[in-house]
Structure formats: structure tokens, C-alpha cells
Amino acid sequence: MPRFLTHYWQLFALLTGALFTLSFAPFNYPYLAPLALSLLFYSWQNTPPLRAFLIGYCFGIGSFGVGISWVYISVHDFGGANSFNASLITLLCVLFWGVFPALAGYISAKTQLNKSQKLSYIALPIIWMLIEYCRGELILNGFPWLQIAYAQLDTPLAGYIPVLGAYGTGLISTLMATGLIGIFQQPRYQIVLMALLLTILSIGATLKTIQWTQPNGAPIKVSLLQGNLSQDQKWLPENKTKTLLWYKATTEAHWDSELIIWPETAIPAYLSEVNDWFIQPLSKQAEQHQSTVVVSLPFKNEAINEKYNTVMSLGKDSGLYKKRHLLPFGEYLPLQPLSGFILNSLAIKLGDFNAGDKNQTLLKAAGHPFITTICYEDAFGALGLVNIDQAAFLINLTNDAWFGNSIEPYQHLQLARMRALETGRFLLRATNTGITAIIDFKGHVVQQAALFEPATLTDSITPMKGLTPYAHIGDRPILILLVTVFFILIRLSRRTPFNNPTDAL
């Protein structure tokens, strides 16, 4: 690294991290992601471990400081925390998740994989993606927000998504970032590297033209309902009847649809409280009109004191789905008893739910089984692959009302689009306050409702069959590749003489 940058790179990394976040929704400047990473990776080359950690940490703070600023709205506006406590919790979240880019820099330096320019072109993307996998799947039940592949849904690199999934496409994206560095650092290979980058983009563009799955029967007419009841009003007793009447009346106006979908916990009551006088009559109506109504409400098993976040299909093919992947600090408290003590001291009330079985019978609508996810579950690609060979489409019921008028609903919609493209199936996404959307099997938004407006989306979707390559293989081959190459690179680094001495911090 040039000496004049060593004292200023941390500040520049903050700006670069914010630049990285602008590649995601709602800003949608996707090519900023590999550009920002190329600047970060360049700053790590031949850098001591502690300095690489600090630079990476500044990048992470810049990225998550912008990218998850909506935590404040959730905790303050709807979680009941005062301004100081909400700011403190938001800061802690940013500082915690910001550690992961820092770890990537530290590991690259500690293993000396950043000392050789040519070796770093492969090593840094491998380490970055291993850290992304740990953050996205393992830590605190996983947090895959702001992973680079999600920014590429509207670029040629999207062609790799149904083949390699989010982590495989992320690896290609990060390799392109180091390719950009190589163009400037390796004048002898500039033409070769530029040709390689263009080839990667061309292959991706070609893959986008391939239809990996096929229609499976006649189109299905669907209606998605968005009631637009804000989170602070949703559970007030005086609003329950009004809410139920709106959804019931809107449903009855769309009995010509074969499938009608309500958002997450659109019914603000436990199943036992509304089953006899509301759920069962509605189910009979749906059966009479040869339609299926998919609703969501909490379920309590009094006998064993368990609570679940659930989805029910009403009509001829009735069934119940229990949410499998719970939201930490929202539906359960990890790191007990520490987290419970802290949140109780801050006077923040959170849910206490149980997770459903990992392998549940698929719900059905219009004669077709479908994959069900509730809210945060659509952020995890592997979760949507369970029994995907049986499913004709995907349904996600979400409540983004917790995040108000922030960038989160747009980011969440971007995550959902990834699941449709990975599996080659339509995804129907009903939300309380937005963004309700119909997404086709290529990951394109066919229709979407505006934020904070009552809305109904009606259209036809095509049930699909067959499997994308990613649906066949999942994430395991990419993970094995990442780990294997990482250890091969370590062995190579021990045999490689380094010409550039490591500067002192």
C-alpha cells in the first residue's frame, strides 16, 4: 500500500463501506459492490494483521451503518425503547456485524495470504466468502443482509444464481473485484484480465437466457392482500374486529381467484381465540368457492406452553405450517441469560416463540403443493430447498411494518427475489404494510404494491416443475470448494517467497 494512504485508509474505508451499501436496494447501483470490494481488497494487500482488521472494521461500520440503520426505527418506534437506548442498540448492532469484514482482513494478513499480489487475487475472495457464509448461516441464527450476490440480481451475474446460488455468485462477484485490481497492478496481463472479466459477464448473460424449470399445469389466478395496519396499531384490541372485517370483505370480493393470500399475522389473535367463529367459517366459504385462502396467525399449545408463528391454508386443502427459522431478538432470545437481562433492563418487550419442525408437509393451493416461508425465512436459500422438488411455487408472508418508512422493505424484497431465481419458481409475497409483490421464476417483479397503502394485487402465475442446478446441489459444494481452496492457498503461501516486507503498524 502506498505510504501516503496508510494513515487515511481507515477513513476512506468508512466511505467505501457506505459506497458498497449503495449497490443494494433501494439505491440499486450494483456495480458499486465489486468496485468497493476491489478498493478494500487493495488496501489489505501486504498489510499487517491489526491494520487490516481496522480497515475492514471501518468498512463494516460504513456498510452496516447505512445498511441496517432501520434497526433504530424498529427498536424506538415499535419496540418501546427511548431514543438513547434505541441509538445504543443500533450502534451495538453496527459494531457487531462490522466485525465480520474486519475478520476477513485479519485472517488474510495473519495467514500471510495478502502478501503476494497474485495469490491475494484468489485468497481474498475465498476468505471474504467464508466469512460471509459464517455470518449468513451460523452466527446468531444467520444474518445474510448485504451479501454481495443480492446486489447482482439485475446484472449479467444473475445468470449464475440458479446454478450456484447466492454464495457461488458471491464468489464470482468477489473474484471480479480482484480482477479489477489485477488490471491496474499487472500491466502485462491487462488484456487477458479484461477479456476474462468480459467472459464472466458474457457467460452470466447467456445463463440468464436458460429456463431451468418448466410449466406444470394451467395458470393460477392469485390475489395478495395488503391491509396496511401499522405495527403500533395492529395488536390493539379495538382494532381486531376492524382488521378481520377488512380482510374478510376483501377476500369475498376476490372469490374468483383460486388463491388468496394474507400477510404475516394478519389475524391479530391466537388460533384458539378465532378458530370457531372466524377461521372455520372462512375455510368453508373458500371450499364452496373452490378457492384457497392462506392466512397467518400465532398458535399457542396451552398443554405444553409452546407458541408458534404459523401459516394456515383454508379451503379444500387445509393445513398448518409452523415457522422454522426464528428471528433472534425478535422471536427468541439467544445468548441467554445475558440478552434477556439487557433487554429487560431496557424495557423492550419481545416475542418468545418455538421453532417448527425442519421438514413439514407442504401446504397446498389450487391442487399444487408450495413452499411456505414467514418473514425472515426468505433470507435463507437452503431453507427454500426443503422438498422443493414437490413444490410448484413459493409463498412468503411478511411483516415489515416494524421498520417503518426505511430502506429495509426494499432490501427484504431483494432477498425474496433471490429465492425465486434460485428455485425457478414464482414467489408470492404478502406483507402488512408493503412491499407486497408477485415475483416470476426469473426473479423479476411482475407487480408490487406501494408502501403504506391498502392494496390488492391480482394476477396469474404459472406453477412450475423441475429443478435448477442450485436446487439440486445446494450450498454444500460451494462451501467445500471455499474451505479446500483456502487450505491449498495456505500451503502455497508457505512455499512462496515474498518480496514486499510487512510494514510495522
- Which residue matches cell numbers 431465481? 421
| CATH-assigned architecture of domain 214-324+363-467 | 4-Layer Sandwich (3.60)
Is 328 exposed, middle or buried, given 0-12, 13-18 or 19+ CB atoms closer than 10 A? Answer: middle
- What would the mean pLDDT of 275-286 be, rounded to a whole number? 95
pLDDT at 4 over 50: no
Nine-digit cell at 375?
418473514
pLDDT at 459: 97
Cell of 187: 500491466
Q: Residue 499 — very low, low, confident or very high, per pLDDT cuts 50/70/90?
A: very low
| Residue 174 pLDDT grade (very low, low, confident, very high; cuts 50, 70, 90) | very high
User: What is the rounded distance in angstroms from the CA atom of residue 326 to the CA atom of residue 54?
Assistant: 32
If DSSP codes are grouped into helix, strand and coil, which group holds residue 219?
A: coil
492/118 Cα distance (integer angstroms): 12
Arithmetic mean of pLDDT over the chain: 90
Angle at 273 between CA 271 and CA 279, to 5 degrees: 55
Q: pLDDT band for position 501 (50/70/90)?
A: very low
Position 134 scores a pLDDT of 96
**Residue 281 pLDDT > 80:** yes
**pLDDT band of 347, cuts 50, 70, 90:** very low
pLDDT number for residue 199:
97
In this predicted structure, the answer to whether residue 342 has a pLDDT above a threshold of 60 is no
pLDDT at residue 503 in the model: 35
* pLDDT surpasses 70 at 472: yes
**Grid cell 417448527 — which residue?**
356
Residue 328: the pLDDT is 78
Position 497 scores a pLDDT of 56
Give 429-445 pLDDT, tens digit per residue: 999 998 999 999 999 99
pLDDT band at 491 (very low <50, low <70, confident <90, very high): confident
Phi, psi of 374 (to 5 degrees): -115, 120
Higher pLDDT, 123 or 334: 123
Q: Where residue 304 falls among pLDDT bands split at 50, 70, 90? A: confident
Q: What pLDDT does residue 404 have?
A: 87
% of the chain surpassing 70 pLDDT: 92
Interval 415-432: pLDDT, tens:
999 999 999 999 999 999
Q: In the predicted model, is pLDDT for residue 253 greater than 50?
A: yes
| 3-class state of residue 300 by DSSP | strand
Q: Is the pLDDT of residue 406 over 70?
A: yes
CA distance 159 to 153: 9
Residue 500: predicted pLDDT:
46
- Average pLDDT value for residue range 130-158: 95
- Which grid cell sits at 343? 433487554
Q: What is the pTM of this model?
A: 0.91
Q: What is the pLDDT of residues 360-394, one digit of tens each?
A: 999 999 999 999 999 989 999 999 999 999 999 99
Query: Over 50: is that where the pLDDT of 356 sits?
Result: yes
Average pLDDT over residues 75-83: 84
What does the pLDDT average to over 145-165? 97
Three-state secondary structure call for residue 344: helix
For helices 117-133 and 476-495, angle between their N-to-C axes, nearest 10 degrees: 150
Query: Mean per-residue pLDDT for 177-194?
Result: 93
CB neighbours of 397 closer than 8 A, spacing ≥ 6?
Answer: 261, 262, 263, 264, 266, 294, 296, 311, 372, 373, 374, 375, 429, 430, 431
Taking 50 as the threshold, does the pLDDT of residue 1 lie above it?
A: no
Over range 36-59, report the average pLDDT: 95
Q: Measured at the alpha carbon of residue 428, what is the angle toward residues 299 and 321, in degrees to the nearest 5?
A: 25
pLDDT of 504 reads 33
Q: 329-336, long-range: CB within 8 Å, 24+ apart, which pairs?
A: 330/376, 330/402, 334/140, 334/141
- What average pLDDT does range 184-205 have in this prediction? 94
What are the grid coordinates assigned to 248, written together? 374478510
With 80 as the cut, is the pLDDT of residue 333 above it? Answer: no
Specify the domain boundaries for CATH 3.60.110.10 within the chain: 214-324+363-467
Catalytic annotation, residues: 264, 323, 375
For helices 190-208 and 161-185, the axis angle rounded to 10 degrees is 160
Q: Residue 27 and residue 342: Cα distance in Å, rounded?
A: 35
Q: Taking 90 as the threshold, does the pLDDT of residue 236 lie above it? A: no
- The two counts, helices (H) then strands (E), for the chain are 17, 14
Q: Cell 392482500 identifies what position?
A: 225
- Please state, as a whole number, how many other Cβ atoms lie within 10 Å of the Cβ of residue 503: 12
Is it the case that residue 340 has pLDDT exceeding 60? Answer: no
Amino acid at 72: Y
